Structure formats: C-alpha cells, structure tokens
Amino acid sequence: MHSEHCVSSHLRLNIEEYDRIIRTYIPRYEESRGVQLELLAAANIPARARIVDLGGGTGSLAEAILERFPSSSVLVRDIDPEILALARTRLARFAHRVELSHGSFMDPLPAADAVLCAFALHHIPALERKAEAYQRIRNALRPGGVFLNTDAVSGPFWPSLREEWAVFMAGQGFTLEQAYGNLDSWAAEDTYFSVHQELTAMTQGGFESPECFWRHGPIAILGARV
Ligand SMILES: C[S@@+](CC[C@H](N)C(=O)[O-])C[C@H]1O[C@@H](n2cnc3c(N)ncnc32)[C@H](O)[C@@H]1O
C-alpha cells in the first residue's frame, strides 16, 4: 500500500513536470488548448460523445475534455506504455469515462464522435503515412463528427517561424542557443508540414472539406467536420 502510494506520488510529480516543461517548449500551448476545446464545443456533438485523444501522452488534453464535457468518454491512445501509465494516474478520477489504449496512429480506431490530437502527429515523418493516419481517423468518425488536430506547421516562411519559436523559448528561461538546439534535436524525430500539405493529406485520407481553424506562427489547429 505504502509503495503504491509512493509510485503514485512519483508519477504525479512527473505529470506536473511534463505539464510545466511542455508550456516552455510550445508557443501558445495553453491558448491552443482553449481554442481546440471551443471548437469541440461548437461542433455540437452528442452530450454522451465518444472522443479519441490520439497520441494522448500523459492525458492532459483528455483531462481537459473530460472536465469540460462531463457526460463524454475519452479513449486515450498512445504508443508509449510508460506515458500511458502517467495518463492512467492523471485520469483515475474519471473512472469508467476513460479508456487507455496502447497502439499506434496507424491502428484502426473505434467509432467516435470526435478525434482530437495535440502535438503528436508530427511524429509521422512522411505525408503518405499521414494520409493513411487521416484515413483511419476519417473512418472512425460518425456522421456529424469532428477532427481537431493541434500541431506545429512549417511552410514557405519556416525560417522566420523557427526564429519566432526559438525566441519564444528564449523567453521561457532557455538561452537562444539552447532554444535552437532544442529545435535541432527535435528535428531528428519531428516533421512539420505546411498547412497546404496537411490539408491535401487530409483530403487524400477521405476528408471532404479540411480546414485550418486557427493559426499563430508555427502552431495551428487543422481538421474537419464530417
Ligand atoms: C509531444 S507528446 C504530446 C502528448 C499530448 N498530446 C500533449 O499534448 O501533451 C507526443 C505523443 O505522441 C506519442 N506518439 C508518438 N508516436 C506515436 C505513434 N506512432 N502512435 C501513437 N502515439 C505516438 C508519444 O508517445 C507522445 O506521448
């Protein structure tokens, strides 16, 4: 009992640390979360909606959804079992309204009224693969459903967007050199496409009218109603 309690408080510390750090890395993290939830509310999905948080990590987006939409249920899918353990701890208070699912962006999804992603799909390195992931999402959505993806985007002005991003991090306690170092090291795993490329991949994935709903510099919310 005692050791379980220790593990749980340790996990909680990790969650708090993750929540703090991601806000120093990502410009407008909090603001984009608020806009994503407003868009979900505007979509008018059923009160007892089934929502997927894809690449849900520690479950921070899922937590915000479960709080804001108290009759909804959320499936959190992520490829990393350790991070899912953090999500389990964070979301324990929502009990039966949460399902944790170990799997990939490429795996089929259960039927859903909404699929939301935050800062996750940039782990897909090629547009053809991204179109396949979008197809999985499109196939899961019920009529009237919505897809809302918050993520970094590039485009023809990437050098100035990259600079804007580095300057943001420099305002969060990093030196400018460290900030550029962060972006360089993430580039090994993360791929940012232009909004145009993303919308094209969504169309290839079967979305008829994909949109850019919101954008500030390198951060955007893209998606579609079906
Ligand atoms: C930067 S985190 C974002 C987590 C969370 N959505 C948030 O906003 O805090 C990216 C997440 O994507 C997950 N991920 C990476 N590749 C994945 C894949 N192929 N399938 C599912 N999840 C993946 C990682 O394990 C990680 O939890």
Structural domains of the chain, ranges and CATH numbers in brackets? 2-225 (3.40.50.150)
Strand ordering across the sheet containing 219-225: 98-102, 73-78, 50-54, 112-118, 141-152, 219-225, 211-216
pLDDT of residue 13: 77
* Atom 27, ligand 1: residue with shortest CA distance: 57
Q: At what angle do helices 2-25 and 81-91 cross, to 10 degrees?
A: 100
Q: What is the pTM of this model?
A: 0.96
- Would the pLDDT of 1 be above 50? no
Residues 171-190 have a mean pLDDT of 97
pLDDT tens-digit readout, 119-150: 999 999 999 999 999 999 999 999 999 999 99
CB-CB contact of 87 with 78 (8 Å): yes
Question: CA-CA-CA-CA torsion for 142, 139, 65, 192, nearest 10 degrees?
Answer: -140
Average model confidence (pLDDT) across the chain: 95
Length of the chain: 226
Alpha-carbon separation of residue 163 from 11, 53, 166 (angstroms):
34, 30, 5
Q: What is the Cα gyration radius of the chain?
A: 17
Distance between CA atoms of residues 150 and 22, nearest Å: 14
Residue 2's pLDDT band (cuts 50, 70, 90): very low
Give the Å distance between the CA of 124 and the centre of ligand 1.
Answer: 10
pLDDT of residue 5: 59
Residue 164's pLDDT band (cuts 50, 70, 90): very high
Residues 173-183 have a mean pLDDT of 98
pLDDT tens-digit readout, 31-64: 999 999 999 999 999 999 999 999 999 999 999 9
* Atom 15, ligand 1: residue with shortest CA distance: 123
Residue 106's pLDDT band (cuts 50, 70, 90): very high
Nearest to 148 by CA among 118, 127, 180: 118
pLDDT of residue 4: 54
Give the Å distance between the CA of 79 and the centre of ligand 1.
Answer: 7
Residues 4-33 have a mean pLDDT of 87
pLDDT of residue 48: 97
pLDDT of residue 6: 66
Atom of ligand 1 nearest to the CA of 150: 8
**Percent of the chain surpassing pLDDT 70:** 96
Pocket test for ligand 1, best of 23, 30, 119 (most atoms within 8 A of CB): 119
Which residue did the predictor score with more confidence, 72 or 3?
72
Give the Å distance between the CA of 62 and the centre of ligand 1.
Answer: 13
Alpha-carbon separation of residue 135 from 79, 108, 138, 139, 153 (angstroms):
18, 9, 5, 6, 20
Q: Where are the beta strands (DSSP E) in the chain?
A: 50-54, 73-78, 98-102, 112-118, 141-152, 211-216, 219-225
Give the Å distance between the CA of 190 and the centre of ligand 1.
Answer: 11
Pocket test for ligand 1, best of 52, 65, 77, 79 (most atoms within 8 A of CB): 79
- Would the pLDDT of 83 be above 70? yes
User: Does an H or E element contain 186, and which?
Assistant: helix 176-186
pLDDT of residue 12: 80
**Percent of the chain surpassing pLDDT 90:** 94
- Would the pLDDT of 27 be above 70? yes
Find the residues whose C-beta lies inside 6 A of ligand 1: 22, 55-57, 60-61, 78-80, 83, 104-105, 118-120, 123
